[in-house]
Structure 1
Amino acid sequence: METVTPDPRRWWALAALVASMLTLGFDMTILNVALPTMAADLGATTGQQQWMADAYVVVFAALMLPAGLLGDRFGRRLMLITGLGIFLAGSLVGALAGDVNAVIVARAVMGVGAALVTPLSLSVLPTLFGPAERTKAVGITSAASALGLPLGPIIGGWLLNHFWWGSVFLINLPMAAIGITACVFLLPETKDPASPEVDTVSTALTATGLGALVYGIIEAPTRGWGDPLVLGMLGAAVLLIAALVVRERRVERPMLDMNLLAHRGFLFNTVAATLVTFILTGLLFVLPPYLQAVLGHDALGTGVRLLPMMGGLLVASRLAPKVVARFGARAAVSAGLVVLAFAGFLGSRTAVGSGYGFVALWLTITGLGFGLSLIPAMNGGLSALPRDRAGSGSGLLMTLRQVGGAIGIALLGSLLAGAFRDRLDVTGLPTEAADTAGESVVAAHLVAERAGSAQLAASANSAYVHGMGVVLLVCAIAALVSALLAAAFLPSTPEAEKPETPDMAAEQADARQ
């Protein structure tokens, strides 16, 4: 079993992980800013846009657990490099894609790569850093992942202003290449050959269960929640996920270790991190069309206008360790979620004539709440794991976070689509034009432009802002409920033991062997 020794290359190794996480962070939001442009160029409906975002996230979530185990068994560095290579290949396919379906396939391939990179980036941390340095290392890695969020749209926006939409995929190639080079030269190889083998049946159950769930949620606004296909998909999702849980409880060496969920610290920190991700991905899905279609900014302007969230996040990443040291992780996570709830309530008051200043205010508060809740929750969850389960444990944590993200895009995107369609005034339009206008705010603006109807454009803006308000209100309520759960259930440990206790125990166990 491995022991933590201060590796002299550990901060350089962290730089390799940062390069990898930055690549993925880029990709999460470059596409968000490109979606309105792609919707116009490829004729993508809101549902197809959700799939372009969700194909990546569903595959990502489904393969995260087996990816963590592959890293434990065959070497985390090897799997990190492999993951970045697959991600690079998917980006190339996306750049050359000619229609919506090709983009969705490319995003799915990129999801395979991201599934290998993310849990392994995190699982390497406990083997590189002792308890005293780990909070800082997790903070830096989380900040790197988050740094890509606003940088992605700025770079993506610039590319869209100068090149075709495929260039937003092309930018991943040098980023992934830098990540691969950094991993090859800076990252030591670590593994745990005693970890469980990858279970093909469990992996298939995870992928099909999540796929059916997300498909059902995305199709519901168009077909109706009572539609046989939607009900069938949601029913199948429940059965497949239940079958997965039953199988994993019976297997001698499970891939999805339910015993980890029995640990209160791991369970509730993971739940908190999942709910924060649910809120954030939903928010990042609904905001770019508002900035582009309603306020009329170009792609680059949209990316720049997402920066206040990064400002809030940077402040929170410096503040979070101090708040944890002074008041404990439970207080930090709960306070962060309350701040996130306040940002959501404030955002839900946005009107068509609010202007950007008001949006910048609640975006800054969102970043603050996001960083204050997510960083301590992630660190608390990882610190609760014994190091020999680092890969599969962090894989489980990240899987649940990505499931939260996929459901966030599907559920909140569907809520937005339904609210938009209900409020949009298409009186006097031919049936086909009315149906097209109802697909998305971008489509409604294109129809309004062709028909020369200022009234339709105004109605589209009003309907979209109403839908966005509904989504932000739901996010705020979810954050408030999460804050209450965190305050009630997150473990409260004595100051001196936060967050080192689980790892000190693991080190003592190592020493005894």
Structure 2
Amino acid sequence: MENASTQPTTDAGHPRRWTILAVLVFSLLVVVLDNSILNVALRVIADPRQGLGATQSELEWAINSYTLVFAGLLFTWGVLGDRYGRKRVLLLGMALFGLASLVSAYAQSPGQLIVMRALMGFGGAAILPNSLAIITNVFSARERIKAFAVWSGAVGLAIAIGPVTGGFLLEHFWWGSIFLVNVPIVALGSALMLLVVPESRNPRPGRLDPLGVVLSIAALVTVVYGIIRAGQLGTWLTAEVLATLAVGLGLLVLFVRHEARSDHPALDVRLFRDPRLSASAAAIALVFFALMGVTFFMVFYLQSVRGFGPLESGAVLLPMAVAQLLLAPRSAALAQRFGTKAVAAGGLAGVALMLYAISFADRDLPIWQLEIILFLLGAGMAHVMSPVTDAVMTVVPREQAGAGSAINNISRQVGGALGVAVLGSLLSSVYRSRMGERLAFLPPGTRHAAGESIEATLAAARQAGPRGATLVGPAMDAFVHAMHVVAWCSAAVAALGVLVVLVWLPQRPHEGRPGAPAAPAGTEPARALRK
């Protein structure tokens, strides 16, 4: 039988496109699975007896070092995949991710873990945009939204598997097992890709744009770093944060001006004039801004306030992931029937309503009610991501699918980083304001640290003897109040996303301007696929 890598692609799509999609979806699991597992493990890694004794700041950097490198290199890896071969770059990313995961499992200090997490981000940044770019190239425009729906559903599957897998591993093995689980997934996924996934690239890449690539890395890294520092410091009004953001935005302006004037740009920034791209990217960023703030506090709500273990808290989060897994593939049919605008706006409205509903959760909320809210939250997400992802990829020419995929994922990462920084900072400041006077009896050296988070307060309470027990109840109440404030703000951001979609996103992105890159099946140029 002829190898899939050598079979031609017709206007109807690659003959083995659904098998290729299955392999890419399996490989995608490693990126999403890792982050969802790590969120459940934060408490254990912070424990000096079971983990590394990481401080709150070190825990943040274990997450943020990955985000910083990942977001900074998404565009670059997408451009390199378009030029040198998406399969080749994807396999390189898998190898780097697997190696960094193996070393992370045996890290001896928080510093080592942070460095290895950055290397994981280096590899992960090559995986995500090129997997989506390959999907764009092997499917026709008619089927592409269905493929993106399956791809989005796979994210839900990974979110489902992650917390439960992480909880099981933490209850039966040491903390490093949450990283070690990535290694067999990488090995099997890479082997399947070698056998099944075809190579593809831009057949007419033109000259390199090294200045554009360097400016994109510098701008994205600087902006994301400024966002992260704002979250760590708990304020945006410091010279360090403002200067970093100003430099990052300045570099971003230089990048846009350079790309607009270049006759061989790495990214044709004029594409952003098309509302299908700009409105979709904004919707992705806003929904992840809202969602990441909630997922950040939900683990602590379940473990620190409700007293659940890692496995139990992972199980509570399952409904949100199951909804995405089940409903994301169905969103394609709804988008084709009712239009992208209607489906995406309805999904965002559902997300906003469920985020608002979370603001009513207290210390005694029945878990079955929380699970219904999380299921409906996941249902809303399922009807946002695949339609707007398809809208983004419709605008970008197929030969630049890697760069287009990077735009989609950069929107997701920057929105998520902003959500963690802004909403995490809000959570911390509201919590500290509620706990300020109650911490007055603690020694001055520990008072400030104890007000940083509920986990820090509970740790200080354990060390303060009998009087420390008086802090436990107020700490939980203060955290729940802060959680409510964050949920309100998250709901408002999701509601803003509804407005963006209704005002700017066309009803049906495939019915864009004449000559749009995505054409109906049967009119598309053949893809450049190589062994």
Normalised TM-score (structure 1): 0.93
Q: Deviations over 1:142-177 (max 9, x none)?
A: 111221112111111111111221111111111111
Aligned mates of 2:203, 2:517 — CA distance in 1 = 22
Alignment map for 1:5-44 (pairs within 5 Å)? 5-41=12-48, 42-44=52-54
AA of the residue aligned to 2:260: R
Write out per-residue CA displacement over residues 467-507 of structure 1, whole angstroms, 9 at most, x where no aligned residue. 22222111100110110110111112499999x97522696
Find the partner of 2:451 among 438, 441, 465.
438
Query: Is 1:359 aligned with 2:366?
Result: no
SS in 1 for 2:523: helix
**1:468 alignment partner, one of 483, 500, 509:** 483
What is the aligned partner in structure 1 of residue 74 from structure 2?
Answer: 64
Q: Is the 8 A contact 2:392 2:408 kept in 1?
A: yes
2:302 aligned partner, one-letter code: L
Instruction: Tell me the residue number matched to 2:194.
Output: 184
- The CA distance in 2 between the partners of 1:461 and 1:310, in whole Å, is 27
| Greater share of residues in helix | 1
Q: Using the alignment, how far apart are the partners of 2:239 and 2:284 within structure 1?
A: 33
Change (3 A) 1:96 1:8: same
Q: CA 1:476/1:196 → structure 2, altered by over 3 Å: closer, same or farther?
A: farther
Which of 475, 478, 483 is equivalent to 2:498? 483
| Counterpart for residue 350 of structure 1 | 361
Take 2:112 and 2:41, find their aligned partners in 1: how far apart are those partners?
A: 16
* Partner Cα separation in structure 2 for residue 459 and residue 189 of structure 1: 58
Q: Is the 8 A contact 1:24 1:145 kept in 2?
A: no
Equivalent residue letter for 2:168: W
Offset of 1:328 from its aligned partner? 0.8
CA 1:61–1:3 in 2, change beyond 3 Å: closer, same or farther?
Answer: farther
The unaligned stretches of length 5 or more in structure 2 are: 1-7, 527-531
The whole-number CA distance in structure 1 between the counterparts of 2:395 and 2:293 is: 28
Task: Describe the superposition over 1:345-396 as per-residue Cα deviations: whole angstroms up to 9, x where unpaired.
Answer: 1011222222423321221121011111111111122123321221222222
Equivalent residue letter for 1:443? A
What letter corresponds to residue 34 of structure 1 in structure 2?
Answer: A
Distance change in 2, residues 1:448/1:135 (3 Å): same
Query: How large is the RMSD of aligned CA atoms in angstroms?
Result: 2.5
Q: Aligned residue for 1:447?
A: 460
Instruction: Give the distance between the partners of 2:62 and 2:83, measured in 1 at CA.
Output: 32
Deviation at 1:199, TM superposition (A): 4.2
Work out whether 1:270 is the aligned partner of 2:281. yes
Deviation digits for residues 200-238 of structure 1, max 9, x if unmatched? Answer: 444443344333334433444636433322222222222
Q: For the structure 1 residues 268 and 210, does the alpha-carbon distance in structure 2 shift closer, same or farther, using more than 3 Å as the test?
A: same
Q: 1:288 to 1:191 in 2, by over 3 A?
A: same
Structure 2 counterparts to residues 199-210 of structure 1, below 5 A: 199-210=209-220
Q: How many residues align?
A: 511
- Say which of 404, 412, 429 aligns to 1:418: 429
Structure 1 residue matching 2:227: 3-state secondary structure = helix
Question: What is the aligned partner in structure 1 of residue 331 from structure 2?
Answer: 320
1:2: Cα distance to partner? 7.6
Using a 3 Å threshold, how does the CA distance of structure 1 residues 462 and 95 change in structure 2: closer, same or farther? Answer: same
**Stretches of structure 1 lacking an aligned partner (at least 5 in a row):** none
Separation in structure 1 between the aligned mates of residue 469 and residue 368 of structure 2, nearest angstrom: 25
Measure how far apart 1:429 and its partner are: 1.1
CA distance in 2, matches of 1:171, 1:76: 25
- 8 Å CA contact 1:58–1:207 kept in 2: the answer is no
Identity, in percent, stands at 36
Distance 1:291 1:197, change over 3 A: farther
* SS of equivalent residue, structure 1 residue 159: helix
Distance (Å, rounded) in 1 between the aligned partners of 2:184 and 2:291: 27
CA, structure 1 residues 300+401, in 2 after alignment: closer, same or farther (shift >3 Å)?
A: same
Higher mean C-alpha deviation, range 424-433 or range 149-158: 424-433
Amino acid at match of 1:32: N
One-letter amino acid matched to 2:477: S
| Distance (Å, rounded) in 1 between the aligned partners of 2:463 and 2:402 | 54
| Local SS of the residue matching 2:199 | coil
The CA distance in 2 between the partners of 1:16 and 1:315, in whole Å, is 19
SS of 1:510's equivalent? coil
The 2-side partners of 1:139 and 1:3 are apart by 22
Q: Distance in 1 between matches of 2:313 and 2:445?
A: 30
Deviation at 1:85, TM superposition (A): 0.4
Name the CA shift for 1:50/1:414 in 2 (closer, same or farther; >3 Å).
Answer: farther
Separation of aligned partners in 2, 1:501 and 1:245: 22
Asked if 1:341 is matched to 2:359, the reply is: no
Q: Identify which range, 313-322 or 167-176, moves more after superposition.
A: 313-322
8 Å CA contact 2:29–2:154 kept in 1: the answer is yes
Per-residue CA deviation, residues 229-266 of structure 1 (Å, 9 max, x unaligned), is 22222222222222222222232222232022122212
